[in-house]
Amino acid sequence: MPQSSFPHLIAPMKATNGELPTGPGWQHELKWDGMRLLVHIHDGELTLRSSNQLDVTVRFPELAGLADAFGGRDIVLDGEAVALDETGRPDFAVLQQRMHISDPVEAQRRSVVIPAALQIFDLLYFDGHDLMGLPLADRRRTLEALVEDGPAWRVTTAHDDGAPLLALADEQDLEGVVSKKLDSLYRPGSRSSAWRKVKIRRHQEFVVGGWAAGEGQRRGRLGSLLVGYYDDRGGLRYAGRVGSGFSQAELRRLLDRLQPHERVTSPFAEELPRADLVGATFVDPVMVVEVAYAEWSPIGRLRHPSYLGERIDADPSAVTSEI
């Protein structure tokens, strides 16, 4: 393999949403609820970069030891930084307490209080050789031979059969599974069907209490739904905005359905966040929709909600939380 110059910037390859693949030719890993990191070690110096190429090295001082882990040889690794909640589950909300810290002293303090760990799943460059043009199976084989688990990093476990792993992720309330073709090359900056993410998404009925105008291609039309559920005191509790999962035709249909029910006051029992009020129009709570979501946030908001359809067979007053 010919020598190549060190790649200081690499846009990470990303997965597409899809169904869990079966059969040979795939490997399956847990999907981590964290922050994607590209690890660049060049001339003994460590640089950590986010997906959008920000230098975030100072934010994760517990990874500094990686710089000495490869005998002075240059290397680029791909992985995900995670932080755990009180139950031991990866939690993006916890990691957010680390992600925005730029002061080295504060970052060091938080690395003790809220430790992060790097889950390493790919090897892109090593000792003068660009490995991105090799099949994943070869990159993984080399990765597992080179990288030993450290105090704040480890190589992820790859599985041949995705179904048991997905069942385990569901059982332990994890985010899902990422499946990758063993012959896939690393395509920087691309979102490829050769990598497939399978999220464990919950779904339930919600009452529509309003809609918000869209932006971009949705400007001037419905962009998202404001949804909620009734609590045991009969108050409509706000659960968040749902802005994905719609066809253009369904957006038009929903707007036609909702406009006759517009009202001045909010039907929700609590005051909505200021950001969610921007462009919002309230409606009588007469429509029920089915919404898929990844999880509830600590403040009772849906994470990654997606519209599945209107439930014309449901009574709005009977819609409660299924947490």
CB 28 within 8 Å of CB 160:
yes
Do 173 and 215 fall within a single domain? Answer: no
| Among 169, 199, 229, residue at a domain's last position | 199
Q: What is the mean pLDDT of residues 277-299?
A: 90
State yes or no: pLDDT of 24 exceeds 80: yes
| Among 199, 220, 253, residue at a domain's last position | 199
State yes or no: pLDDT of 292 exceeds 70: yes
- Band the pLDDT of 287: cuts 50, 70, 90: very high
State yes or no: pLDDT of 219 exceeds 80: no
Do 157 and 28 fall within a single domain? Answer: yes
| 172 or 313, greater pLDDT | 172
Query: Is residue 312 a part of any domain in this protein?
Result: yes
Query: Is residue 1 a part of any domain in this protein?
Result: no
Catalytic-role residue among 14, 31, 181, 197: 31
In CATH, what number is assigned to the domain containing residue 270?
2.40.50.140
- Band the pLDDT of 201: cuts 50, 70, 90: low
* Other Cβ atoms closer than 10 A to 249: 8
Residue by residue, DSSP assigns 45-78 as EEEEE-TT--B-GGG-GGGGGGGGTTTT--EEEE
Residue 181 is a catalytic residue: no
Do 110 and 220 fall within a single domain? Answer: no
pLDDT tens sequence across 60-111: 999 999 999 888 899 999 999 999 888 888 887 688 678 778 899 999 999 9
Residue 138 identity (one-letter amino acid): D
pLDDT tens sequence across 36-50: 899 999 999 999 998
Question: What is the Cα Rg of the chain in Å?
Answer: 23
CB 155 within 8 Å of CB 143:
yes
- What is the spatial distance between Cα 168 and Cα 270, in angstroms, rounded to a whole number? 37
Q: What is the mean pLDDT of residues 187-197?
A: 91
pLDDT tens sequence across 108-156: 999 999 999 999 999 999 999 999 999 999 999 999 999 999 999 999 9
**Burial annotation 151-177 (CB, 10 A radius, 16+ → b, else e):** ebbebbebbeebeebbeebeeeebbbb
State yes or no: pLDDT of 313 exceeds 70: no
- What is the spatial distance between Cα 34 and Cα 90, in angstroms, rounded to a whole number? 7
Do 228 and 253 fall within a single domain? Answer: yes
Q: Extract the tokens encoding 69.
A: 């882990």
pLDDT of 72:
86
pLDDT of 196:
94
In CATH, what number is assigned to the domain containing residue 53?
3.30.470.30
First to last CA, the chain: 54
Do 147 and 256 fall within a single domain? Answer: no
- Band the pLDDT of 218: cuts 50, 70, 90: low
Q: Give how far Cα 13 sits from Cα of 86, 100, 117, 128, 259, Å.
A: 31, 23, 21, 21, 42
CB 29 within 8 Å of CB 80:
no
Domain of 110, in residue numbers: 14-199
pLDDT tens sequence across 203-212: 788 999 999 9
pLDDT of 321:
83
State yes or no: pLDDT of 2 exceeds 80: no
H runs (alpha helix) in the chain: 92-99, 104-113, 136-146, 162-171, 248-258, 274-277
pLDDT of 318:
84
State yes or no: pLDDT of 16 exceeds 90: no
State yes or no: pLDDT of 216 exceeds 80: no
Do 239 and 128 fall within a single domain? Answer: no
* Other Cβ atoms closer than 10 A to 74: 19
State yes or no: pLDDT of 4 exceeds 90: no
Mean pLDDT of the chain: 90
State yes or no: pLDDT of 256 exceeds 70: yes
- What is the spatial distance between Cα 318 and Cα 38, in angstroms, rounded to a whole number? 48
Do 48 and 96 fall within a single domain? Answer: yes
Do 81 and 141 fall within a single domain? Answer: yes
Read off the pTM: 0.67
What's the number of domains the chain is made of? 2
The three-state DSSP-derived secondary structure of 187-199 is: CCCCEEEEEEEEE
